[in-house]
Structure formats: structure tokens, C-alpha cells
Amino acid sequence: MKVKFLIQYLLHPRATGAVLPSSQNLSSKIIKNIDFKACDCIVEFGPGTGVFTKEILNRCKKDTTIILIEYNKEFYKILKKKYYYMENVHVINDSAENINHYINKYGINNVDYVVSGLPFASLPKDMTEKILVNTKSVLGHKGTFIMFQYTKLKMSLIRDYFKNINISRELINIPPAYVFTCTNKL
């Protein structure tokens, strides 16, 4: 899996954003603030080969809806092969910009969490803004946006969309990463 990831990074560095899949430590830090018992829907942007997805599925309720939106065609095929048999998991080959379409398509009224591995620092600003606008929209005032980034470069832009941001650092990852837990809760 690591070789496939590296190949995709070499072929599509701006869209892939990393040379290796996320570490187990980063996965643990990403999911630690998810209340799996009270969660009905989790959306994952840029799941890659499914490192976070595996942890989410190991902890969520059987009836939690999981939507995986992966832009990279090769990663999409890997995810589709892994999860085709799970009726509550929807694997989509598209841009996270289009999340509203899939929320409507699957009749989802409430998204509790959006987990993101998207490399916002390398995405065009207009694409990043559209993803953030749509993420804020599907989460409303109750949901939580959890993402990791390798820099704080887009911090001010993220603050334009989410009032409350908790930042932690995971050093045991290649490269080390920041985890942003974002809400609009009062």
C-alpha cells in the first residue's frame, strides 16, 4: 500500500499531498474527538487508502452512514474494493466540493463529522473556499470538522468558516502533522 501511495504522490503531488499514508498515531488523534455512540453520519474527504476509514469503521455504530469522497481514481478503486459489501458505506470518486450533492442523493439530514485528509495548502484557493463553505453548510452549528495539515498556512482562511478551532500536533507521522478540530458551536 505504501508503494501505491508513493506512486500516486509522484503522479499527482498537489492532489495527493503526502508521500506515505497517515500513521496510526495520527489516525488515533484524528478520531479521538468523535462521539461514535451518538454519531449517525461521518463524511471523509480524501480518505486515500483508508487509514482513517478503518479506524472509523472499527468504532462506529453498525447503522452509521459513512461517505467517502476520494478524487484520486486509484485510491477510489482501492476503497471500492475494500468496502463494496458494506451497505452503509458510500465510496464516491469526486471532489469534496460536491458534498451537498451526495448528502441530498443519500437523503442525509444531519452530518455529525467531516474528517479530512485534503492537502489544503496545495489546493487552489477557490477550491479550498468552496470545500469549506460546503463543509460548514452540511455540518450546521452542531457538527465537527476534523482535519490534518502539515502546516498552519491556511489557518486564517479556515478561521473565516469555523469560529472554534482546537489545534494539536502529531510528531509521529511522516511528515509531522497538525490536527484541527473545528466547530461553530456556541
Mean per-residue pLDDT pooled into runs of 10, the chain (186 residues): 45 47 88 96 96 96 97 95 96 98 95 96 93 96 95 94 96 94 88
For residue 21, the model assigns a pLDDT of 67
For residue 174, the model assigns a pLDDT of 87
For residue 186, the model assigns a pLDDT of 64
Residue position matching grid coordinates 437523503 = 107
DSSP annotation of 167 reads: E
Instruction: Determine phi and psi for 58, rounding to 5 degrees.
Output: -70, -20
Please report the domains of the chain, with CATH numbers, ordered by start residue: 23-183 (3.40.50.150)
Q: What CA–CA distance (Å, rounded) separates 5 from 19?
A: 6
For residue 23, the model assigns a pLDDT of 85
